[in-house]
Structure 1
Amino acid sequence: MDVITYTAAPSTTRLYGRAVGGSLPRLRGSGRPADRLPDLQVRRLGVRTDLDQLATYVRITDGLLADRLPALFPHLAAFGPQLALLTDRRFGFAAMGLVHVQHRLTQHRPLLVGETYDLTVSPAGLRPYRRGQLIDIQTDATVHGETVWQETMTLLARGIAGGDVVDSSPLDGVDAPAGTVRWSVPAHTGRAYAAVSGDRNPIHLSRLTARTFGFPRAIAHGCGRQPARCR
């Protein structure tokens, strides 16, 4: 297994530049989807909470400041290592345009604001889907070797499905309310969350940039609304 280790937050600006380059078929290869994920880990060591970032995050997500971190807040620290994995040439999929369709979070115990923790990001699964392929990325947070927090985000790589097509939703098995549920999200939501999280995927920022990747309008960040309710 290859391991990439960071002792400080990687530059998401540089990684997005790499993502743009990786979206060009001549740089990444044929442009066809990969049939397997690399044996690769990205680690971020010694993560400490930025109190200004935490305060901004709590404000835009309608949360409350406390002595423990909101359950989804470590995702912000994990985003840089995750982007490093997704933009690595060995990954096999273009990061730009990937759609975050599912998020599973396990909090074994709350992380305290003053705690230092380590993050490990790795590919966890690849399966065909009728609209492309679903990619699972797992992130573990540990404190002195104890796993305290885990998340698995499922990304949809739209396009050609590999292997036998699985004609099921990535949300199968998830308890969901009956009927249609609508949220009213202000137009600036994507840009506000991008500023605090570093997740500046163009599909979240505006109607114009979302259309570049085939979406009729901007898509709100899945982790950007009401995460304070996840405890």
Structure 2
Amino acid sequence: LPNLQILIVQGFSGLEILEVAEKPADSKPLLSLTSLSLLSINMTDIEELKSLLSLVPNLTYFRINAMSELTDSFYDGTQWEEIIRAKLPLLDHFKFCFEHCLSEKPESNIVEEHIAKFQTPFWLETKSLLVRCALESETNGHSWKLYLHSIPISEDYIEYYSDGKQIINSAVNKIDHDLELFINIRQLRLFIGQIPDTITSEG
């Protein structure tokens, strides 16, 4: 497909990415590709992703959603800045959403540490990218999930569970009074837990 310009891949794993990037027949850069979306990607090491991005140097649009046992490098704004400068010099639009379940109680400043790396001139001025980091906790206090995503959220569909979870810390890399997190959402699925007594009594 020498003239391919847009590629959307869903359910790709890190090992599959390496297989594609390391095949001699596929090692030639895909110079015609300008838009790449990797959705529901399952990988643990950002080095796997670097191998793939080396093949698509002319991307102007890159979107990635990864939900797995991610390493800290996926949340590192400095790491992403280096990747974009080195491998994607033409990139205009970068959208991402990362979710990571934490097995141990995180440090109290984990959100601020991650968001600080997206407060450099590269992100705020060159790319004009808004980023949000949030820490979610189960109400039992025994499990946590870390979110890092560009703003607005790139998904057009989200699920919301009303029971057992709460955001305990959240921060954005730039204060914007016109911030619209959910402008792209077209479908919302609610999972309602216990119905309040005031509602059931009216029935």
Fold shared, TM-score > 0.5 on shorter chain: no
Higher strand share: 2
Please give the TM-score of this superposition, normalised by the length of structure 2.
Answer: 0.28
Which of 1 and 2 has greater Rg?
A: 2
Please give the TM-score of this superposition, normalised by the length of structure 1.
Answer: 0.26
